[in-house]
Every structure is written in structure tokens, then in C-alpha cells.
Amino acid sequence: MSIIIGADAARLAGLQIDSLQKVRSGQLSLDHWERFNNLSPEVREERFGDWRKPKPEVLVDSKPIEKFALLVDLGIITVPEDYDHAKQLAKFIKKNRKKFYGVNEDITDANFSNPSRILKPGDRLWAKAYQQVVPNTTTSVERMAFLEQEKMVVYTGAQGASLVFEQKRDQLPKGKWYASFDKPDRLWKDPGGDRRVPGVSANSDGDFYWDLGGFENVWSGHNAFLGFCDPSVALVA
């Protein structure tokens, strides 16, 4: 005599056989099975739902997160008439060494001879300092992308940072390290193979430090950065 069973009953029988095989093979334990059976219908729906129903669309805020903001507008810096690019850094240190708590001796005219913009006597640039406004860290690439966005893309290297110190150091908020970025191939590579970023630290106690950071390193909130542009660009922006 043949027995005819309904579709749901056949499906249940198949699940029983499949579950038994999984128990025997160790893919499913009796404890797992028992815990599932003891779940309430509401909890089962919350955890597993109906796989045949389309999942609700998750709306993602398309507005990008602003990671940086203006710290201080330093205004115009003017390249002195006696400026000599080939000797600027040596002259700068000789003149200002006593104003610094510490000096990194690797910031030399030889090591930083080829910034993207070689300044000339009489040049005028608008300088600004920017800070990170999000927690954790950001990269040099992210910071330079922000400068591109702000059209602050005159990269003056260590020489630009030296002029900011000489002409605008009293305007630099304390407790920040101010990096002067440039494209990686324009930066000095130290003996360990790291590209180094020149900058000036304005310590909270009033001291200054003439130092180097690492382009490949990440930066935190106390690491600010300088941006330069031609005055006509700043007025339009």
C-alpha cells in the first residue's frame, strides 16, 4: 500500500534526515538544536527572518566626513630681497638657532634643495595652517588631498616653513607641530629609506622645535600642517 504525504510533511522529513546527518558528522550538536527549538517565534524572526523577503534598503549618508579645518589664517608672507634659495636653510639656522629648543641637523640646503616651488626674492604667498578635526589618525596623502581641495598647492618645503617661523611664529597656536608638505619625490629620503617632512613645533610652553616628521607615518590631532597659495587664488577662494 502506497502512502501519499503532503509537500510540507515531505519537506519536514527531508530536514530531519539532513539534521540527523549533520549531528552525526559533527556539524550540528544536540545543544544547538535544543537552543534553536527553545527560541520564541519573535526571537527566531529577529535572528533569521524570512530569507525570501527583500532586505530593507540601508540609506548611507553620501556627505563626506570633513577631516580637516582651518586653524589660523596667517596672511601674506613675503620672500625677502636678500633671499638665496641655495643658502636659505643654513642662513636661517645660523640666525635663529637660539630661538629653538631643538634643531634637527638633517634639515639642510643639500637635503631639501628641490621643493616643488623654489621661492624667489619678492615672492608673496598666502599662508594658512590647518588642523585635524576627527579622532584617531590621518595620512599625509589625505592631508595633501585636502590642500588640493583648498587650492593651497604651492609646496615650498622647508624654506616655506622657515619663512613662516620668521614672519608669523607669534600667530601660530601653541601645542601644535606644523608640517610643510611636498610631493614625496621632492622630500629628502633618510638612510632608512623614509621620506621626511620638515616643520616647526610651537610647544605649549612657548618653545619652538625645528624638526622632521615622516611622510609614510600617520598624523594625529596635535599635528597641524601649513598650506600656501598665490594671493590671487586665496582672494578668489
pLDDT at 200 over 60: yes
- Give the DSSP letter string of 28-54: S-HHHHHHHHHS-HHHHHHHT--TTSP
Contact, 219 vs 181, CB < 8 A?
A: no
- Residue 151 confidence (pLDDT): 95
- Give the DSSP letter string of 70-123: EEEEEEEEE--TT--GGGHHHHHHHHHGGG-SEE-TT--TTTT---SS---TT-
Contact, 92 vs 166, CB < 8 A?
A: yes
Please state the pTM of the whole predicted model. Answer: 0.72
Least trusted range by pLDDT, from 59-63, 88-92, 218-222: 59-63
pLDDT tens, 41-79? 665 566 555 545 555 555 555 567 899 999 999 999 999
- Residue 48 confidence (pLDDT): 58
pLDDT tens, 159-196? 999 999 999 999 999 999 999 999 999 999 999 999 99
pLDDT at 37 over 90: no
Alpha-carbon dihedral sign for residues 228, 229, 234, 237: negative
Q: Nearest to residue 181, comparing CAs of 162, 204, 154?
A: 154
Contact, 158 vs 188, CB < 8 A?
A: no
Contact, 109 vs 189, CB < 8 A?
A: no
